[in-house]
Structure 1
Amino acid sequence: MPSLERTRSTRVVDAVWRVVLRLGFRLARIWWHVRRPHHEGALVAVYVGRALLLVKPSYRAEWGFPGGSLDPGEAPDAAARREMQEELGLSVDALSPAGIVRGTWDGRIDHVHFFELHLDCLPALRLDNREIVAAQLASPEELTGIALTGAVAAFIGSSR
């Protein structure tokens, strides 16, 4: 029965992390609206055929692409690869640069580097169940009915 107990404790720890992330994100957004900080991030548009992989963070209502903030001194492509590993358990070597989108979202002045990854089929994903709680493929036609983060919506709008 030890494995069942470990699973229960893991679920509790994951739930606590989700609460902390939700509260932390809300507080951060308030702070960002006051301070208007500059932020730099990297996101990856993962294509499987024509469909795009969307991920659902535990702390926001919208869907987005895998990715996140650049660490100090980190190159955008390195940040994108690191985030793919952390959020989805995917190790990727080469990502194709797909452009930069600038805007103000969540109170931050954002500079987001986009990369593309084209796959023949979706590999098994390992969601952390803390930051990322769901993933789905969406066809171009389905994207209009899905709430997307500001940066992702801007990227998709600019690529049409």
Structure 2
Amino acid sequence: MPSLPRSRRAMLIDSVWRLVLRLGFRLARAWWHLRRPSHEGALVAIYVGKALLLVKSSYRAEWSFPGGSLRPGEAPHAAALREMEEEIGLSSHPIHPAGSVCGMWDGRRDRVHFFELHLDSIPELRLDNREIIAAHLASPEELHGIALTGAVAAYLGRDLCY
């Protein structure tokens, strides 16, 4: 059997990763609904002018900001920088704390720390095409018609916790 060309092989590997992430997320959500664990995460709201950069993960229906879970012992600021680099290839940008939101999302008691990054133009993004499959720069008017994760909706509504 001949080997697949590199680009086709990479596409196949990416699609397998997306399938694993979708199934894993569904299983995790079922477990979280049973156990109701506490969770802590960090997200980065990237503003380009007044527009916001949204990312689409392969395992969710809603759009979000770059970010994810804090690792054990990891500070929220460090997690936000790490996730921004991993998910969209952005590093070495100064982010600023923008509060936290608390809620029950996906069956978890969640505390999400938000950071903001303000840019003059959209940077070159490097999506992994496994976890993050799309990015969209949304105007303030567009945000009302886009399905957003609960944490992002709470942040935009300034429903902050302390």
Q: Indicate the percent of aligned positions where both proteins have the same amino acid.
A: 74
Q: What is the alpha-carbon distance in structure 1 between the residues aligned to residue 24 and residue 16 of structure 2? A: 12
TM-score w.r.t. length of structure 2: 0.94
What corresponds to 2:48 in structure 1? Answer: 48
Consecutive aligned runs of 4 or more in structure 1 exceeding 4 Å deviation: none
Q: What is the alpha-carbon distance in structure 1 between the residues aligned to residue 48 and residue 138 of structure 2? A: 9
- For residues 17-36 of structure 1, the aligned pairs below 5 Å read 17-36=17-36
What corresponds to 1:80 in structure 2? Answer: 80
Q: What is the alpha-carbon distance in structure 2 between the residues aligned to residue 50 and residue 95 of structure 1? A: 16
Deviations 1:63-106 (A, max 9, x none): 00000000000000000000010000110342100000000000
Q: What is the alpha-carbon distance in structure 2 between the residues aligned to residue 12 and residue 44 of structure 1? A: 30
Matched to 2:34, the amino acid is: V
What corresponds to 2:136 in structure 1? Answer: 136
Q: What is the alpha-carbon distance in structure 1 between the residues aligned to residue 60 and residue 73 of structure 2? A: 27
What corresponds to 2:119 in structure 1? Answer: 119
What corresponds to 2:151 in structure 1? Answer: 151
1:158 positional shift: 1.1
Matched to 2:131, the amino acid is: E
Q: What is the alpha-carbon distance in structure 1 between the residues aligned to residue 157 and residue 6 of structure 2? A: 44
What corresponds to 1:99 in structure 2? Answer: 99
TM-score w.r.t. length of structure 1: 0.96
Q: What is the alpha-carbon distance in structure 2 between the residues aligned to residue 14 and residue 106 of structure 1? A: 25
Structure 2 stretches lacking a partner, 5+ long: none
Structure 1 stretches lacking a partner, 5+ long: none
Alignment root-mean-square deviation, CA: 1.0
Indicate the structure with greater helix content.
Answer: 1
Aligned residues: 156
